[in-house]
């Protein structure tokens, strides 16, 4: 099976695309950097016993007042910025990719079902989507997150499910855009000749929907995936308070990590859109 994938059009397209290879390299490096943070980070930013306020707000190592052991400098708590980025990326990547994948799964599934089946089911799903679109996504996410935290807190779960609640709230707030995009493409695809021919020869509807229609409607979904990165965003927000006093590294380095992450995911999305589009093969 793996050899078949290597000989397929997706692997061939990847081997020919320098942009996709560069984006994949950045994404893989950031993923493994976050995964291996406890072993490769110079310091543990969450070990309070190792923090020294005398080392707070130190510039990067190449600056005049910098120290070699703090390559990218320190923040106002004396934490190493490089180590904080590595540790912070773990939560960022977990929440970001999990919430996007879950929202995509819900949106693509409901959009495909709505567009292909049509009728009353289509009307119900789209009316729910219209109601949700009348409110800002951030408001929906905050509402779901707040209600879920109260419910789980009353049951004694506390902070143990905080990350799962965050992932779920972001996903439920953002599935609509995927569903509407896939539904629109499905309405076009299901009336084309190849779908009609499949119905004539007796192919089951579920097989037509999953095997023939789905590959042709997922392309637009793979472009512009919004990776949510709350941990890196928190670092940037905290560093903004010190930006005008000269501690620029508190914003620049987390911001650079965020830009690289967003760029790599979006470039990979552009490549996947082309690689999985049967019309371009």
DSSP 26-94: HHHHHHHHHHTHHHH-SS-TT-GGG--GGGTTPPPTTSTT--TT-TT-B-TTS-BHHHHHHHHHHHHHH
pLDDT exceeds cutoff 70 at 224? no
**pLDDT (0 to 100) of residue 271:** 78
From 121-125, 153-157, 228-232, the region with the lowest mean pLDDT: 228-232
**pLDDT (0 to 100) of residue 163:** 77
Residue 231 pLDDT level (bands cut at 50, 70, 90) = low
**pLDDT (0 to 100) of residue 111:** 92
Q: What average pLDDT score do residues 7-17 get?
A: 71
Q: What average pLDDT score do residues 222-250 get?
A: 63
From 27-36, 99-108, 227-236, the region with the lowest mean pLDDT: 227-236
Q: The whole model's pTM is what?
A: 0.66
pLDDT exceeds cutoff 80 at 125? yes
Tell me if 60 sits within 8 A of 66, measured CB to CB.
yes
């Amino acid at each position: 099976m793996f050899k078949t994938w290597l000989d397929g059009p997706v692997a061939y397209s990847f081997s020919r695309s320098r942009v996709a290879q560069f984006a994949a390299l950045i994404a893989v490096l950031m993923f493994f950097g976050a995964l291996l943070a406890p072993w490769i980070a110079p310091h543990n930013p969450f070990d309070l016993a190792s923090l020294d306020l005398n080392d707070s707000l130190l510039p990067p190592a190449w600056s005049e007042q910098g120290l070699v052991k703090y390559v990218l400098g320190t923040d106002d708590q004396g934490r190493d910025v490089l180590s904080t980025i590595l540790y912070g990326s773990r939560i960022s990547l977990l929440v970001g990719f999990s919430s996007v994948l879950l929202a995509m799964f819900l949106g693509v599934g409901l959009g495909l079902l709505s567009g292909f089946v049509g009728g009353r089911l289509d009307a119900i799903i789209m009316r729910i989507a219209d109601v949700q679109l009348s409110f800002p996504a951030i408001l929906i996410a905050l509402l779901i997150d707040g209600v879920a935290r109260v419910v789980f807190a009353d049951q004694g779960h506390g902070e143990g499910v905080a990350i799962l609640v965050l992932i779920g709230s972001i996903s439920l707030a953002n599935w609509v855009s995927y569903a509407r995009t896939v539904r629109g493409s499905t309405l076009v695809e299901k009336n084309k000749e190849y779908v009609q021919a499949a119905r004539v020869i007796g192919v089951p509807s579920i097989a037509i929907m999953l095997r023939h229609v789905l590959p042709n409607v997922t392309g637009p979904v793979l472009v512009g995936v919004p990776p949510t990165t709350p941990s890196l965003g928190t670092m940037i927000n905290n560093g903004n308070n010190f930006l005008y006093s000269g501690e620029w590294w508190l914003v620049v380095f987390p911001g650079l990590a965020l830009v690289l992450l967003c760029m790599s995911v979006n470039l990979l999305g552009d490549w996947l859109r082309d690689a999985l589009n049967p019309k371009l093969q």
